[in-house]
Structure 1
Amino acid sequence: MDIVQSPIIPAVAAMIQEHPGTISLGQGVVYYGPPPEAIEQITTFLANPEHHKYQAVEGIASLLEQIASKLKTENGMAIDQQRQVVVTAGSNMGFLNAVLAITNPGDEIILQTPYYFNHEMAVTIAGCHPILVATNEQYQLRPEAIAQAITARTRAIVTISPNNPTGVVYTEAALRQVNDLCRDHGLYHINDEAYEYFTYDGTQHFSPGSIADSSGHTLSLYSLSKAYGFASWRIGYMVIPAHLMAAVMKIQDTNVICPAVISQYAAVGALQAGAGYCRAKLGAIAAVRQQLLHALTGISDRCTVPPSHGAFYVLLNVHTAIDALSLVERLIREHGVAAIPGTTFGLEDGCHLRVAYGALQPETAIAGIERLVQGLKTIL
C-alpha cells in the first residue's frame, strides 16, 4: 500500500477547510440531487421487513431488469447468455472487481494518460502494473501507441469516454480500434462510461459494448452518481462477459456481499425517471461550460485548453514552471478557488489543472471561474 498514491480529493478538501469561503472547482459531482422517483422508492423498501436482510450479490431483480432495458435501448447491448450485469457500489467497485477478476499479480493493465487516479490506484492495489500510454495533444487516443505497449503480461486496455479528467469524448473509430486490438490479442477492453449523458455541441457518446461480437472481451462500467445526483448512494453497475461472472461474484461477495439494498431501490426509481432527468439539467451545466471556455480565452497566453466536449471537466495546460500542487495551494490561499493538480492523473511534465464545472449552482460556478482566471493572471 505504500506505493499506492493517496487520493487527492480529500487532500484538497482539507486545504479548502483551512480557507473558508473558497469556491471549489475540484470535485466531480453534479449540482442537483436525485429525482423524486428515487426517493419514493424508499417507501417501497421500508414496507417489507425482508428487505433489511442480505439480498442477491449481483443486485435485486427489479434493478437488473431496469438496467437491462436501459442498456438495450440506449447502449445497443443485449443482456443474454454471453453478457451479464452486476450491480456495484459505484463504478469504482466495478473497476476493481474487473481488475481482480482478470489478472494475476504482476500482470499489466494499459491506462491512457492522463488517467483517472482511482483506476491507477486499483491496478496497483491488485498487485499489477499500470502501463501508461500518453494521449495526443488533444487528449485523444493513440491506438498505434497502445498496440506497441502490449506485452505477454497485458490483460486489459482501459478507456474512459466521456473522459475524466480531460472532458474529451473519444471517437467511435478510435474506440473500435482499441476493441479490435483486444479481440486480436486476447485482451479485455474495459470502458468506463460514467459520463455517458454529459456531451455537448452535438458530440455523440459511443459504447464499445455495442460492437458486434464484442461481448466476450468487453467490460462496460456505469454509474448513477453523476447523471442522477446519486454520488453518496453508491450505485453503479458493470456489464461483463458471462464467463467472468463466477469470479466477480466471489470478489463482490467477499468485499460488500451486496450493494446497499435501500440504494438499489432508489436506483430503480432513478432509472424509471430515465435519462431525461439528467438531460433536463444539462442546459445549466452547458451554460457554465461556455462561460468557463470564454473566460479562459482571455488568458490563452497563460494556459492552453484542448477541446473537450464531454463530462464536466477541462484540463488546463498551464504555462508555468510552478508545480501543479503548489499552484493549487496558492489559488486556494490567495484567491479562494480550488482545482485539482494534474500530477494525480499521471501528468508529471509541466503544470496541469483539472477544473470541474458541474458541481455548483451557476452563479457560484461563475464566481469561481472569475477567481480562477484572476488568480492565474496574478500568479503567472
Structure 2
Amino acid sequence: MQAVQSPVIPIVGELIRTFPGTISLGQGIVYYPPPPEATDLTQFFADPTNHQYKAIEGISPLIAAIKAKLQAFNSIALDKQCIMVTAGSNMGFMNALLAITSIGDEIILQKPYYFNHEMAIQIAGCRPVFVSTDENYQLRPDAIAQAITAKTKAVVTISPNNPTGAVYSEEALHKVNQLCRDRGIYHISDEAYEYFTYDGVKHVSPGAFPHSNAHTISLYSLSKAYGFASWRIGYMVIPENLLVDIKKVQDTNLICPPVVSQYAALGALQTGFDYCRSHIQAIASVRQVVVRSLDSLQGLCTIAPANGAFYFLLKVHTQLDAFELTKRLIREHRVAVLPGTVFGMDQGCYLRVAYGALQESTAKEGMERLVKGLQTILA
C-alpha cells in the first residue's frame, strides 16, 4: 500500500478549502442532481424486505431496466453475458481485476491513465503496463500489441476518456478488441462517460462487436449522466464464465449493492435519456466557453482535440512541476485544476481541466482566472 499513490481529489480539495473563493476546474462531476423519479423511493419503502440483503448481482427490476438500456443505446443484446450491479464502476473494475488475475499479472493501461485504475492494479498485486497514446491521445493498437506478454490478462480502454476527453474511433476499438480475442486476454472497456460526446461524434461500445461477448468486460456508471455520484451505482457486463468468480468478490466486499440506491437507479433509468439530454446540451455550451478560453493559451500550451467527457488535458510549455503549478494557481489565482502527474504524465507539465460541474458564468470566470494565472506565472 505504501507504493500506491494517494487520491488526488481530497488533496486538491483541502487546498481549495484553504483558499476560499477558489473556482474548481478539478473534480469530474456534473452540475445537476438526479431526476425526481430517482429520489421518489416509494417503491423501496413499500416492501419491508428491502431493508434486508438482496441478490449479489442486483435487484431484478433494475437488471431488466439495464438490459433494455444496453440494447437501445449500446446495441448490446446480451448473448452469453451477464449483468452485475456494482457500487460504481470503480468497484466494477476492482471486481474484474480480482476475478481474472493472479499476483504478478499485468494489465495494460493507456497513458495518460485514470489514476484509480492504476491504483487498483497495484492494490490487487498486479503490475500496470503503460502504453502511450498518440499526440491527440488516441489509441495505438500496434504499440498495445507489442506490450502484451505471457503475464498480460487485460487491456483497458476508457472512451470517452478521463483525463483527456478523447473519444476513440470504432476502428481503433475494434482493433484492440480483436487483438484481445486473438491473444486470449480480456478487453476491459470503461464507458462511464458514454453519453458525453460532442460535435457529432458517436460513442462506440466494444461489447457490441461481433464475437466480443467471451472476452469483453464493459463498465458503466450512473454517477455522471444521472448526477448520481454519491449514490454509488454502476454495473458491469461480463462474460458468463466470470459470473461465479465476480459474485465471490462482490459478496466479500459488499454483499449486495445498496438496495435504496438501486431503486433510485431504477427510477433514473425509467426516465430515459431525455432527462440527461438537456443537461448534456448545457455542458456542451459550457464546453464552447472553455474552448474559446483555451484559444488564448495557444503558444503557452498544446491542447489536443477533446470531443468527449468533460475534460481537456493541457501540455503546458514550462519546466515547472505540475503539482507546484497547480498549487500556485490555487494560491495566487483562486482556480483549481488537477496535475497531470497523477495520470502518469511525469515527462513535462500537464494539467487536467474539468468543466462538467460548472454553470456557464462560473466556467467563464474560472477559465479567465486560469488563462490569466498561466500567462502571469509563465511570463
Match of 1:251 among 242, 249, 252: 249
1:125 has 2:116 as partner: no
Q: CA deviation at 1:362?
A: 1.7
Q: Which digits, 9 at most, give the CA deviation of each residue in 1:224-283, with x for residues without a partner?
A: 000000000000000000000000000000000011100000000100111121111112
Task: Give the equivalent residue in structure 2 for 1:168.
Answer: 166
Task: Give the equivalent residue in structure 2 for 1:76.
Answer: 75
Task: Give the equivalent residue in structure 1 for 2:335.
Answer: 337
Task: Give the equivalent residue in structure 2 for 1:134.
Answer: 132
Task: Give the equivalent residue in structure 2 for 1:23.
Answer: 23
CA distance in 1: counterparts of 2:185 and 2:142, whole angstroms: 16
Q: CA deviation at 1:79?
A: 2.2
Q: CA deviation at 1:351?
A: 0.3
CA distance in 1: counterparts of 2:362 and 2:299, whole angstroms: 26
Task: Give the equivalent residue in structure 1 for 2:46.
Answer: 47
The one-letter code sitting in structure 1 at the alignment partner of 2:281 is G
Task: Give the equivalent residue in structure 1 for 2:112.
Answer: 114
CA distance in 1: counterparts of 2:330 and 2:165, whole angstroms: 23
CA distance in 1: counterparts of 2:308 and 2:277, whole angstroms: 13
CA distance in 1: counterparts of 2:261 and 2:338, whole angstroms: 29
CA distance in 1: counterparts of 2:351 and 2:208, whole angstroms: 33
Q: CA deviation at 1:306?
A: 0.2
Q: Secondary structure at the match of 1:146?
A: helix
Q: How does 1:296-335 map to 2 (within 5 A)?
A: 296-335=294-333
Query: After the TM superposition, which of the residue ranges 83-92 and 69-78 deviates more from structure 2?
Result: 69-78
State percent identity of aligned pairs: 64
Q: How does 1:200-239 map to 2 (within 5 A)?
A: 200-239=198-237
Match of 1:91 among 83, 89, 98: 89
Structure 1-normalised TM-score?
A: 0.99
Mapped contact 2:326–2:336 kept (Cα < 8 A): yes
Task: Give the equivalent residue in structure 2 for 1:4.
Answer: 4
Task: Give the equivalent residue in structure 2 for 1:33.
Answer: 33
CA distance in 1: counterparts of 2:361 and 2:247, whole angstroms: 45
The one-letter code sitting in structure 1 at the alignment partner of 2:148 is I
Structure 2-normalised TM-score?
A: 0.99
1:63 has 2:62 as partner: yes
The one-letter code sitting in structure 1 at the alignment partner of 2:44 is F
Task: Give the equivalent residue in structure 2 for 1:177.
Answer: 175
Q: Which digits, 9 at most, give the CA deviation of each residue in 1:96-154, with x for residues without a partner?
A: 00011000000000000000000000000000000000000000000000000000000
Is there any run of 5+ residues in structure 2 with no aligned partner, and where?
none
Query: After the TM superposition, which of the residue ranges 42-51 and 60-69 deviates more from structure 2?
Result: 42-51
Mapped contact 2:289–2:360 kept (Cα < 8 A): no
Query: After the TM superposition, which of the residue ranges 69-78 and 192-201 deviates more from structure 2?
Result: 69-78
Mapped contact 2:286–2:359 kept (Cα < 8 A): no
Is there any run of 5+ residues in structure 1 with no aligned partner, and where?
none
The one-letter code sitting in structure 2 at the alignment partner of 1:291 is V
CA distance in 2: counterparts of 1:39 and 1:265, whole angstroms: 9
1:156 has 2:154 as partner: yes
Q: CA deviation at 1:36?
A: 1.0
Q: CA deviation at 1:156?
A: 0.2
CA distance in 2: counterparts of 1:198 and 1:355, whole angstroms: 16
Q: Which digits, 9 at most, give the CA deviation of each residue in 1:37-64, with x for residues without a partner?
A: 1112x12101211100000000000000
The one-letter code sitting in structure 1 at the alignment partner of 2:63 is L
CA distance in 2: counterparts of 1:361 and 1:138, whole angstroms: 27
Q: Secondary structure at the match of 2:297?
A: coil
Runs of 4+ in structure 1 deviating by more than 2 angstroms, as ranges, are: none
CA distance in 2: counterparts of 1:49 and 1:184, whole angstroms: 49
Mapped contact 2:63–2:85 kept (Cα < 8 A): yes
Tell me the matched-pair count.
378
Q: CA deviation at 1:360?
A: 1.5
Q: CA deviation at 1:363?
A: 1.2
Q: CA deviation at 1:347?
A: 0.4
